[in-house]
Amino acid sequence: MTDSELIELLFARDEAAISGIEQSYGAYMLKIAMNILGSPEDGREAVNDVLLKVWDTIPPLRPERLSAYIAKLVRNSSISAYRKMNSAKRRLSQYAVSLSEAGEAIPDASTPETAAEAGELKELIDRFVSGLNADERALFLGRYYFFDPLKDAAAYTGMSVSKAKSMLRRLRLRLKAFLEKEGYPV
C-alpha cells in the first residue's frame, strides 16, 4: 500500500490504515525504537504508542513523507520512554552511546540558558548537516538521529567500521568548530 493510500485511509478513519502502516513500516519503527530503548518489549510498546499517535494526528495533519513523519514520532516517543525509564538508572543503549559521543561537540542543554538556545542549536545543526556530502550526512544522521549502532551505520554507507568511526570523530570536530564559528557556546 502506498503512503498516499494509507493517508487517505486515515482520513476516512478506516482502521485498515493502521495494519497497513504496521505492514509497511513495522520493522522500520521497531528498529528505531530498539536502537534507543535497547529492548524488544519496550520497542514494541513505543511502536504501539506511535500507531495511536498517527491515528490521532492524521487527520488533520497530512505529512508529505509518511516514513519521515513516522520516524520522527518513533524517535520522540522512544526518547521520552527512555528518559522516563532511566531517570534513576542508566542502561546501555545506542541512545546513551550516541549521546555520549555527540556530547563532545554539543553542550549539555540542562541549564536554563542552554535550554533556551535549543532552537538556535537545531537551526545550526540543520545548516551543518545540509553542508555534508551524501555519505557523511547518511552516517551522521544514522548514528546521531536514528541512533543506529556504528556497525549498521557503517554498513549502509559502505564503509568499514574503523573508517566510519574516524569519519564520525572528524564530523564531531567539524561540528564543534562550526558551532564555535557561529558563536554558539560549546
The whole domain housing 133 covers 94-181
147 in the same domain as 116: yes
Reported as a pLDDT band with limits 50, 70 and 90, residue 117 is low
The grid coordinates listed for 123 are 537551526
Shared domain check, 168 and 99: yes
Same domain, 74 and 132: no
Q: Is residue 186 part of a domain?
A: no
What is the DSSP code (8-state) at residue 96?
Answer: H
Q: Does residue 110 have a pLDDT over 70?
A: no
Same domain, 103 and 81: no
* pLDDT per position as a tens digit, 55-108: 999 999 999 999 999 999 999 999 988 888 876 555 555 655 565 666 555 555
Same domain for 120 and 57: no
Q: Between the CA atoms of 117, 79, 35 and 151, what dihedral angle is there, to the nearest 10 degrees?
A: 10
Number of domains in the chain: 2
21, 9 in Cβ contact below 8 A?
Answer: no
pLDDT tens per residue across span 132-154 = 999 999 999 889 888 888 998 99
Co-location of 29 and 49 in the same domain: yes
